[in-house]
């Protein structure tokens, strides 16, 4: 019955969107997101019929797994979380994030990246049957869909949702904290879970909702990781359909909070600036989807920063690499890349194993093209400046727009201005909201 009901749900959401592409029912909106772009395939595959066929075959030939491969039980209870990265580091961060704000343990986790599989031979037979029916249904849509690659991912998402439902039933999950809701199947998945009577609490990232999370349906609670997202919820009230809203903080807070209560963390060296990389150049080299010409725009920011350093010889730069750049096999490529911009200038590449969230106080002003790390810095109360491209990403709200530079001259002027300001002056000047954590930190005596 699970396979059949899930197949019907996919058909219903897709037909709802096809019949009412501008509609606001939860089924139409869930169908709309199924057709959207995803980071789960390379840029070259988004218009590929061959990729559509490849994903169908991949779904048919998935492997067998055991329950504990995809579900980790910590203690007895019915509160779980769901995410797409089962690495040890991510599991620790997610578990810590929930428990930091809930103030009590979470009982288990379910991992999306392990769910493309079958648990039994009967499962396999039903997968073959309903994947074939899904293929027959989706094939004509490849003639009209903007992204054939996104249609192909539905074969994968169908199996993942069936297995998620099976695990939730077996473990008698009552409340599920849902991460990585930017995934295009997050809305259909939460509809299915709510239909089972599960309480679904969706958790955003630090990134503004307008980019990947402007459509959120079937959530008993929406948990925001950034206070600035509150204004966006009102802006997207027709497509963000949730029962309640709560503000938490960054996903890494459990591992970072204590660090900033130990010492005078706002006594930064005003001559040190940091650049936070998104590794856009590396993503482009590896064929990932390049949204908004990110590789070109980020390289432009680096070239402007190099010019700024040449004009301000007292300034020092620390480059904070993206996790992708920190892989051992990329070390030489990364060094050559940054030397091509900053050779002969006062700069270093941060090479510690510690995450950048534990050294925000190492630089006075954090600069990025655009990065979720910037929102994390702001949450903890550190100054930031972004330059998302001269044609730009339009960030929501006047405050976020104010900390964005739109030209080289604007970048230089704001870098000088922000460097001269204290933390409190910076937040007052920009109009950015102070997080509860920052307010508490400012009012807590610090030991040197």
Query: Domain limits of the chain?
Result: 2-251, 262-442
Neighbours of 147 (CB within 10 A): 21
Per-residue pLDDT, averaged over 138-156, amounts to 96
* Pairing of β 79-83 and β 108-111: parallel
Q: Is the per-residue pLDDT at 170 higher than 80? A: yes
Per-residue pLDDT, 139:
98
Per-residue pLDDT, 446:
55
Q: How many Cα atoms are found within 13 Å in the side-chain-facing hemisphere of 101?
A: 20
* Pairing of β 71-73 and β 108-111: antiparallel
Q: Is the per-residue pLDDT at 90 higher than 50? A: yes
Residue 437 pLDDT class (50, 70, 90 cuts): confident
* Pairing of β 272-276 and β 316-320: parallel
Per-residue pLDDT, 291:
63
Per-residue pLDDT, 231:
84
Per-residue pLDDT, 394:
64
Chain-centroid distance of CA 418 in Å reads 27
Q: Is the per-residue pLDDT at 448 higher than 70? A: no
Per-residue pLDDT, 220:
98
Q: Tokens 């606001």 — which residue? A: 24
Per-residue pLDDT, averaged over 39-47, amounts to 91
Per-residue pLDDT, averaged over 357-377, amounts to 93
What is the rounded CA–CA span in Å between residue 194 and residue 238? 20
| % of the chain surpassing 70 pLDDT | 96
Q: Which range, 27-41, 349-363, 395-409, has the best average confidence (pLDDT)?
A: 27-41
Quote the pTM value: 0.89
Per-residue pLDDT, 207:
85
**Phi, psi at 63, each rounded to 5°:** -90, 170
The rounded mean pLDDT for the chain is 93
Q: Is the per-residue pLDDT at 168 higher than 80? A: yes
**Phi, psi at 67, each rounded to 5°:** -55, -45
Per-residue pLDDT, 398:
83
Residue 292 pLDDT class (50, 70, 90 cuts): low
The C-alpha angle 393, 245, 85, rounded to 5 degrees, equals 65
pLDDT in tens, 96-107: 999 999 999 999
Residue 393 pLDDT class (50, 70, 90 cuts): low
Burial code (b: 16+ CB inside 10 Å, e: under 16) for 10-49 equals bebbbebbeeeeeeeebbbbbbbbbbebbebbebebbebe
341 forms beta bridges with: none
Lowest mean pLDDT among 27-36, 114-123, 133-142, 384-393: 384-393
Strand order in the sheet with 383-386: 347-349, 316-320, 272-276, 365-368, 383-386
In CATH, the architecture of 262-442 is 3-Layer(aba) Sandwich (3.40)
**What does the CA dihedral 224, 230, 231, 237 come to, rounded to 10 degrees?**
80
């Amino acid at each position: 019955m699970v396979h059949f009901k899930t197949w019907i749900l996919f058909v219903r959401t897709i037909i709802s969107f096809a019949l009412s592409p501008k509609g606001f029912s939860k089924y139409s909106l869930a169908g709309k997101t199924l057709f959207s772009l995803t980071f789960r395939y390379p840029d070259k595959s988004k218009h590929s019929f061959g990729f559509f066929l490849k994903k169908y075959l991949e779904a048919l030939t998935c492997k067998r797994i055991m329950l504990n491969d995809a579900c980790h039980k910590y203690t007895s209870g019915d509160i779980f979380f769901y995410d797409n990265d089962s690495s040890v580091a991510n599991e620790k961060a997610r578990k810590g994030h929930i428990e930091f704000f809930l103030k009590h343990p979470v009982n288990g986790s379910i991992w999306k990246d392990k769910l493309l599989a079958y648990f039994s031979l009967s499962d396999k037979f039903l997968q073959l049957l309903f994947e074939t029916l899904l293929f027959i249904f989706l094939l004509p849509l490849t003639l009209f869909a903007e992204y054939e690659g996104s249609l192909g991912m539905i074969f994968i998402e169908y199996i993942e949702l069936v297995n998620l439902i099976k695990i939730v039933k077996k473990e008698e999950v009552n409340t599920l904290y849902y991460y990585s809701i930017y995934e295009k199947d997050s809305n259909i998945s939460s509809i299915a879970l709510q239909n089972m009577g599960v309480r679904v609490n969706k958790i955003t990232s630090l990134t503004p909702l307008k980019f990947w999370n402007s459509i959120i349906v079937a959530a008993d609670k929406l948990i925001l990781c950034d206070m600035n997202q509150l204004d966006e919820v009102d802006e997207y009230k027709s497509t963000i359909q949730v029962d309640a809203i709560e503000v938490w903080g960054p996903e890494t807070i459990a591992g970072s909070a204590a660090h900033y209560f130990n010492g005078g963390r706002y006594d930064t060296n005003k001559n040190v600036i940091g650049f936070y990389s998104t590794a856009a150049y590396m993503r482009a080299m590896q064929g990932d989807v390049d949204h908004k010409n990110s590789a070109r725009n980020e390289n432009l920011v680096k070239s402007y920063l190099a010019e700024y350093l040449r004009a301000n010889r007292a300034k020092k730069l620390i480059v904070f690499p993206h996790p992708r750049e920190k892989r051992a096999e990329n070390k030489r490529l990364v060094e050559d890349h940054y030397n091509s911009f900053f050779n002969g200038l006062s700069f270093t590449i941060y090479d510690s194993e510690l995450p950048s969230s534990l050294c925000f106080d190492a630089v006075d002003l954090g600069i990025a093209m655009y990065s979720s790390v910037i929102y994390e810095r702001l949450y903890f109360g550190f100054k930031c400046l972004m330059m998302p491209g001269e044609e730009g990403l339009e960030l929501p709200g006047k405050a976020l727009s104010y900390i964005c530079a739109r030209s080289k001259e604007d970048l230089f002027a704001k870098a000088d201005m922000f460097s001269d300001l204290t933390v409190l002056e910076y937040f007052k000047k920009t109009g950015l909201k102070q997080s509860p954590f920052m307010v508490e930190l400012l009012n807590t005596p610090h030991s040197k």
